[in-house]
Structure 1
Amino acid sequence: MNPAIAKDVLQQFADELLEASRTMVPVAPLRDRLEGMGLQDAYEIQEAQLRHHLAAGRVLAGRKVGLTSLAMQAQLGVDSPDFGFFFDDMVHHEDARIPAAGFIAPKVEPEFGFVLKEDLSGPGVTREHAAAAIGEVYAAIEIIDSRIANWDIRLVDTVADNASCGAIAVGRTPLPVAVEDLAAVECTLRINGEARESGTGAAVMDDPVAPLAWLANVLGEQGVALKAGQLVLPGSFTKALPVVAGESATADFGDLGSLTINFS
């Protein structure tokens, strides 16, 4: 395809996804609609949406890393994570009542939330650099959603769709845990109080700090730094579970604390 035409198609896809976010009407999968569509194309679509939102005055609150578990990577046939962004108006807190109608087909994932105490700029960020940049660790839940119809996604679809990010919930009180102990922390995902899934921090690329270093290096190659005060979600302890209005979701970290949100 002519490069100029391909660029127009990428912008068209970005516009379609922006419209889907507004109308809650999903779009057809993108992967078969542009011959040879690759990962870089998908990130260009994501970046076009980010520029649109920033131009509209929305404030970037942080980044999320996805596909950090071997199970999810195997499902999509990939061997690396992906990432997306979220704004401050997408961040909720403990006991929030979140309208389910604000999403197309929401699912929840229990995660850590890292608030950075210093900038993190790649390339060249090591695991030690990333660990030193973490200020506080919070309980978090990512609400993932797909602007792609029926969750019919492969890697380029979800990357273009902002790594399927819908919203974020994060606790107000830091978890009393050392960064070096994160891999051993256990978390249970509860729906309406019922334990449904559980895992440890080791499910997140064997070490929840590793996705943070990976993200800093990937963004660094684009000339973008993670900033002090930003929130980063490194990936889920468990597979995602769907939620509907009237249900609650809890990321239960046992003696360390928990975070519950409610869907109305």
Structure 2
Amino acid sequence: MTAAAESGAAGWTSHHSDEATRDEQMRRLAGELLEATETLEPVAPLRDRVLDMTLDDAYAIQTHQLDRHLADGRVLAGRKVGLTSPAMQRQLGVDSPDFGFFFEDMVHHDGARLPAGAFIAPKVEPEFGFVLQKTLRGPGVTLEQARAAIGAVYPAIEIIDSRVANWDIRLVDTVADNASCGAIAVGTTPLDVAVDRLAGVSCSLLIDGEVRETGTGDAVMGDPVAPLAWLANVLGEQGVALEAGQLVLPGSFTKALPVVSGESATADFGDLGSLTIDFT
């Protein structure tokens, strides 16, 4: 082998080794977050522990967790899009949405009583819940195709939670932490509203019956269906489809509010319906 070839081979080996080492680091951090989910002992911010951490790194950490859960037999129920409203983006200092996943055992319904102690530092967000009647496979999914894929629209609340200590998160931290998803509550009766009218729907977030936040559907990327199309296209680039029957939460109408034991949270869509859950 010539000197140049030896040098090239050494360079490739070093580069390959660096990639392998970084992947091992992502797997280790995924393991930390999985453990934090079980023990409710949060971890230090990930952005401080990975050199030049990228969004790709963060999604790799998230995917390692998804793969582990699926291998353990948990059943994927759907996906959530986060950071879609100006209020939530301001809260985290970002300008782009993110996404995560949830399983069937994380989905609750109207009137559910959830132990606050099952979370680290829970917050609630009022949202729509889209049940898909058609599979969406990106890239190239249009807004019209996304609308046509929605079979029903339900009132929903996402309980977000952070496995990162003190909610000290930036975009890469929350993405790695499954977009801070804790649990989902979804109504049992669909909202009687046309999919092309969702941007004009208003929703209030009540804590113990008191209106604390109010927003309209156009706060969610201008049209709540836009995050669904965005998600289908982002996942499509990874060879993943949004399957018919899955539930998708497109993002919050308002900023998130913390909840503690003894409080109730309501997503009130006025005449269209509402959803209430209690924290015990």
**TM-score normalized with structure 2 length:** 0.93
Q: Deviation at 1:8?
A: 1.1
Equivalents in 1 of 2:269, 2:236: separation in Å?
32
Q: Which runs of 5+ in 1 are unaligned?
A: none
Aligned counterpart in structure 2 of residue 242 of structure 1, from 258, 263, 277: 258
Q: Deviation at 1:62?
A: 0.2
Match of 1:124 in 2: 140
Deviating more after overlay: 66-75 vs 44-53: 66-75
Q: Is the 8 A contact 2:205 2:213 kept in 1?
A: yes
Give the 5 Å matches for 1:117-196: 117-196=133-212
Match of 1:34 in 2: 50
1:7 aligns with 2:23: yes
SS at match of 1:31: helix
Give the 5 Å matches for 1:26-65: 26-65=42-81
Q: Aligned Cα RMSD in Å?
A: 0.9
- Moved beyond 6 Å, runs of 4+: none
Q: Deviation at 1:3?
A: 1.9
Q: Deviation at 1:79?
A: 2.5
Match of 1:85 in 2: 101
* 1:10-35 superposed Cα distances (whole Å, 9 cap, x missing partner): 01100000000000000000001010
In our comparison, the structure showing a higher alpha carbon Rg is 2
Query: One-letter code of the match for 1:248?
Result: S
Query: One-letter code of the match for 1:117?
Result: Q
1:73 aligns with 2:107: no
Aligned identity (percent) is: 76
Q: Higher helix fraction: Structure 1 or Structure 2?
A: 2
Equivalents in 1 of 2:118, 2:112: separation in Å?
14
Q: Deviation at 1:65?
A: 0.1
Equivalents in 1 of 2:175, 2:193: separation in Å?
31
Match of 1:222 in 2: 238
Equivalents in 2 of 1:185, 1:20: separation in Å?
37
Q: Deviation at 1:95?
A: 0.4
* 1:159-205 superposed Cα distances (whole Å, 9 cap, x missing partner): 00000000000000000000011000000000000000000001100
Query: One-letter code of the match for 2:188?
Result: R
How many positions carry a matched residue from both structures? Answer: 264
SS at match of 1:251: strand
Give the 5 Å matches for 1:10-25: 10-25=26-41
Q: Which runs of 5+ in 2 are unaligned?
A: 1-14
Equivalents in 2 of 1:135, 1:54: separation in Å?
26
Deviating more after overlay: 246-255 vs 66-75: 66-75
Q: Deviation at 1:72?
A: 2.5
